Structure 1
Amino acid sequence: MQERNKNGDKTLEEGKPSQTAFMVAVHRAHHYLTAPEPKILRDSLALPLSGAGSEAAIQAYMDAIEARFTELSDAETSQIFVRRIVDSVCMRSRVVEECLAASLSRGMQQVVVLGAGLDSTAYRCTDLIKGLDVFEVDHPATQAWKRQRLADANIEIPENVRFVSYDFENQTLAEALRAGGVEADKMTFFTWLGVHMYLTDAAVKSTFAVMGDYPKGSEMVMDFISPDYVDTGGLVENSVDYLAKVVTEMGEPIKSRYFEAELEDMLLASGFGRVEFLSARALIDRYLDGKNAAFDMPDEATSILTARV
């Protein structure tokens, strides 16, 4: 049985974790195990958190994903598209780590990970989060699953990490954060990765409004699906549409896509004062010493932004 949100749409299966969160962990693990140097992200905990069990199992999952996309074209093109998905998943997490590190000099006080899934930042980057209160926010079923995965993998939960249960479509975020101990008067670093596309427009806007109400200097990093990517046509359009079909079958349908101008207007209207969209070239120059072989991604598909209150 699947839950339905207030708009009547299917959401996560009742009592079951996010399957897309599992896929993302597999992608991060595959990159860590197989990507050439310089690696985009070094997520040594992705494999144990995924529960896949072995490098061979991770490869088997990746082979299955590539096989599904081969239905749209040839095997080589499918490999390119899947590699781009993996690259984007790793790059968005890398941006979070870099931006969070830079924010510490501004006096950042707490971190809120919206839709945390199997994110491992707080467990890998303990020096980075030292002295910060970290709140992982997610659906109760996904959160219970993650805590079990942490226990099974003998990964210690830092004392400054707390879990906040929240359903983006059925609860008020401000109330959930307050109940979870997040202090609205503290400068806060928000991460919102791989989430907005599964929410209604109303839920996205209300989330922006809550984040934009935090003190000056607060910051948010998010990724998004842009119609610019889909409208390029051909394999790209077919692949994105097919990806949407796959995640819908997992119970997490894609509901929102935004042009950059739309997102900027929404964020500015919500209280943010500066929005920066990160191009593929900027990411390569900033984090990979200009070596684009490690990040094969067209600009229109990068879709990562930072916004500051």
Structure 2
Amino acid sequence: MKDDRPSLTARGAAGHRAAHQRLEGGSVFDDPFARKILGAEGCAEADQRARDRGLRPLRLLIAARSRFAEAALAEAVAGGLRQAVVLGAGLDTFALRNPHAEQGLRVFEVDHPATQAWKRRRLIEEGLAVPPSLVFVPVDLERESLGERLRAKGFDAGAPAFFFWLGVVPYLTRDAILATLRFIARIPAGEVVFDYSEPLANYPPARRAGLQGLTERAAAAGEPMISFPEPAALAQDLRALGFDEVEDLDLSEISTRFLGGRKGRGRRAGPHFLRARRRG
């Protein structure tokens, strides 16, 4: 990550969300701020990359995971939850769109200070006001405690909380993943939504080659993908940490629920969307 730019992964995810608004009209996930926060130059780059038709499945998956996460949050808010944490927020725009602000939902955006500073400059450049419900929490997790930094910004560790954790897990070690999940599991009625990919060996050869290319490009850019959990082992880890409910959608279920895929195709190895909850 450069000191004055967000990470490659943050820019890439934002670019896919922005391109989705133009190419598919936000049909999977409508985000009216996606293109504005990325800016004209960023959008031009994203649109240029999107000419590669091979990237369409990834673009739609990124849109679908935001839809999945925000739908889960809406359920939690209906149940009384009033604080959400966006881990590795990047250029995510949920806090700008927060449909639950009138119900008192506070949104804590956690990210590396460099990425967060760049994002805040972009908000100023676009004339986008920081909503009163948004709290920025710059954290360098290699040197600072997530819990301490959140509490210093007004987060209540004794109250229910929802955590977005999208596009982050593959870039973390197993120890770092479990440490974050352990922190969330200690929160009464803590809930988290994240995405991950199975080990490459589980993929059929045709799709394995595509993921291998993605991992190689990420590594070449200095952001290697290093964690590919086995679904059964991950579920066991979550139960051991204290999560009572685990919903894990595989590629077939994601396709059926969000992308118009056919039912009954059976399990397909690939990316997963996971929601884990601890009862209060």
TM-score, with structure 1 as normaliser: 0.81
The DSSP-based 3-state class of the residue aligned with 2:158 is: coil
Q: Deviations over 1:240-292 (max 9, x none)?
A: 1211121122221112110111211221122211111124454455556xx33
Q: Deviations over 1:111-165 (max 9, x none)?
A: 00000000011112x3234311110000000000111111112222110100111
Structure 1 residues 43 and 59: CA distance shift in structure 2, 3 A: same
Computed over aligned residues only, the root mean square deviation of the Cα atoms, in angstroms, reads: 2.2
Structure 1 residues 55 and 138: CA distance shift in structure 2, 3 A: closer
> What residue in structure 1 maps to residue 24 of structure 2?
35
CA contact (8 A) 1:187 1:214 kept: yes
CA contact (8 A) 1:13 1:251 kept: no
Structure 2: give runs of 5+ residues left out of the alignment: none
Q: Deviations over 1:20-46 (max 9, x none)?
A: 111111100111111168x11011211
Structure 1 residues 245 and 169: CA distance shift in structure 2, 3 A: farther
Residue 21 (1) aligns with residue 4 (2): no
> What residue in structure 2 maps to residue 146 of structure 1?
119
How many aligned residue pairs are there? 273
**Quick one: distance in 2 between partners of 1:277 and 1:168?**
27
The DSSP-based 3-state class of the residue aligned with 2:187 is: coil
**Quick one: distance in 2 between partners of 1:157 and 1:267?**
35
Residue 242 (1) aligns with residue 230 (2): no
> What residue in structure 1 maps to residue 99 of structure 2?
127
> What residue in structure 2 maps to residue 278 of structure 1?
249
1:265 corresponds to which of 236, 246, 249: 236
Structure 1 residues 230 and 29: CA distance shift in structure 2, 3 A: farther
> What residue in structure 1 maps to residue 270 of structure 2?
301
Q: Deviations over 1:155-180 (max 9, x none)?
A: 22110100111123433222222223
> What residue in structure 2 maps to residue 101 of structure 1?
74
Matched residue type, 1:301: G
CA contact (8 A) 2:64 2:258 kept: no
**Quick one: distance in 2 between partners of 1:36 and 1:164?**
32
**Quick one: distance in 2 between partners of 1:17 and 1:36?**
26
Matched residue type, 2:244: G
**Quick one: distance in 2 between partners of 1:13 and 1:57?**
18
CA contact (8 A) 1:47 1:53 kept: no
> What residue in structure 1 maps to residue 60 of structure 2?
87
CA contact (8 A) 2:254 2:273 kept: no
Q: 1:212-227 residue pairs with structure 2 within 5 A?
A: 212-216=185-189, 218-227=190-199
Structure 1 residues 16 and 204: CA distance shift in structure 2, 3 A: same
1:187 corresponds to which of 143, 147, 160: 160
Q: Percent identity?
A: 36
Structure 1 residues 237 and 54: CA distance shift in structure 2, 3 A: closer
Matched residue type, 2:33: L
**Quick one: distance in 2 between partners of 1:276 and 1:54?**
34
Structure 1: give runs of 5+ residues left out of the alignment: 1-11, 67-78
Structure 1 residues 141 and 106: CA distance shift in structure 2, 3 A: same
Matched residue type, 1:161: L
**Quick one: distance in 1 between partners of 2:43 and 2:4?**
28
> What residue in structure 2 maps to residue 74 of structure 1?
none
Residue 168 (1) aligns with residue 141 (2): yes
**Quick one: distance in 2 between partners of 1:13 and 1:148?**
15
Matched residue type, 1:99: A
The DSSP-based 3-state class of the residue aligned with 1:163 is: strand
2:50 corresponds to which of 54, 62, 75: 62
Matched residue type, 2:18: A
Structure 1 residues 197 and 302: CA distance shift in structure 2, 3 A: closer
Q: Deviations over 1:88-108 (max 9, x none)?
A: 111110011111111122111
